[in-house]
Structure 1
Amino acid sequence: MNGEAVRVLTYNVRRDVADDGEFDWAGRGDAVASTIRFHRPELVGLQEPLAHQYADLRDALPEFEWIGRSRNADEDEGEFCPVGYRRDRFERLDAGTFWLSPTPDDPGSVGWDAAYPRIAAWVRLRDRDGGGTVLYCNTHLDHEGARARVEGARVLRERARALREGDEPVVVGGDFNCVAGDEPYRVLADGSDDREGEPGEFPLVDAREASPYPPHGPDTTRTDFEELLPDRQIDHFFVADTAVDGYGVAADAVGDGWFPSDHLPVVVDLDLWA
């Protein structure tokens, strides 16, 4: 990376589930933190941590400041979708949360056929060295509702467009529960919108496709903790007005060869102010 490049990582860390047995949070939380630490991101988006998991990761990664609340009406109950940034690199200017529903400002609102409330956490940061700003949005689309994923992607795209100041770079990352070519992906990756038949006013591009180098790592972001699940690349980064220096899926195994989550982290290097 050059002096101005920023490494960004998105990681679904899997909520703490007792039925996961040896792969419950007590057995893998340290490995999740170690994976994030090893890749040295300056900006991180997480999906699915419950309050105690979020607290553990904040304690384990003290170099980061964090923003984000839970997706439920009670801001400490249920899954979080937090954003972390290195305090020595960035200054926070603004931040917030919106719901992927017809009423995005209504805490706990459930959209369309979604199984649960879904949110996006966003933050505007200023680079302490160069002074440039970036808007980062972190999200997790619904795993069951097909319409909710499409409509949620539209809400996400339009909110990011509305939140953006001037021509600042925009980064949208997370677990989208869809692969390249699916309709929610198309809403974000090229601004297409089957409902209107015209490109959107705020097109983003898939960072994987924008990378000048072949993507590093496997063609999936899902695991069952012990094996990769093929052809399930559902974690993505979409960007606007930034150059992509590199893109990878980090298939980090630990111990005797298991994975710290049922997802793999995605890592991108961005020249945000090139």
Structure 2
Amino acid sequence: MHPAPLYLLLTLVLRQATPEPMPAPRPSCVDRQRIDLSARAAAGVQEICIAPGSLTGFVFDQPASVDLEEEVRFGRVLRGRDSISFVSPPDLAPGERLRLSVRFEREPPEQGVTFMLVAHPGQVTHQVDVFHDGRSRASLWQEIEEERAKNQRLGEENQSLHGQLNAPGGLLRVFLNGELGRQGIVSRVLSVNVSWNVENSLTILDGTVFRSFNSVAVQVSVKNSGTAPWKVEKAMLVANQGQRLEGIRFGPPQAIYPGVTRAIFVEARAAPGTPLEALTLTLNEEGPRSITMENIPLP
């Protein structure tokens, strides 16, 4: 057997010593990617996974113009003032790379940003959120915190409403609300004053006034003799000194239809010890008909 020529041995040695080229690393593919340009200023071109026929969108935190390499190959491209979305070409080869160049309106052209779209047959990034600088990030986090505080406040209000609905009723509820003093709740039946029935279509038939530890209330029965429904939209209680009482609540909210009599209950806050001798009650609808009851005596 003849020995191998020297040049063949050298060729085999060189082939074994020369490393084979390593394939380019593939980008890390996630469905939604967040890119902070200020943090990645020195990181080079950012790679984004795309796949043939799949949708990918970019959303920027400020207005920007975008150039897409070989745009004619893309099936659909939709541009907004601060966004772009596209369907990647169906003929993409694995590992093919296309540039997406972005220029923000507030920046000079030479400060544009380039993203590399890398074809990946198995995975795709569907949305890329691009943040330009720290101020925008701070604004975003402030908005998130405000929304979180709002949701917490709504949750607390919802919990409070559930607590009120589940609270005990009857005198126990009145006691827990601080309405029961040593004298309890006192009342006085009203004698109807002819001056109260000045509205011909509305008649006051009877009434009662109540006084608790920190509130006063008036209940009147009103008959609607007119031809149109009457509904209380606004109620007011004024003390004899001309002071308008706060915390007005009234009900029920339903209208009184023609020929119907219904009791209206109006309540207001009155601090303990407040000198009250008489009240003036006013009930108004959206229209012209109203009721005014002056010099209502308290118990």
Give the TM interval when normalised to the shorter protein.
under 0.3
Q: Radius of gyration: which is bigger? A: 2
Higher RCO by CA contacts (8 Å cutoff, separation 6 or greater):
1
What TM-score comes out, normalization by structure 2 length? 0.20
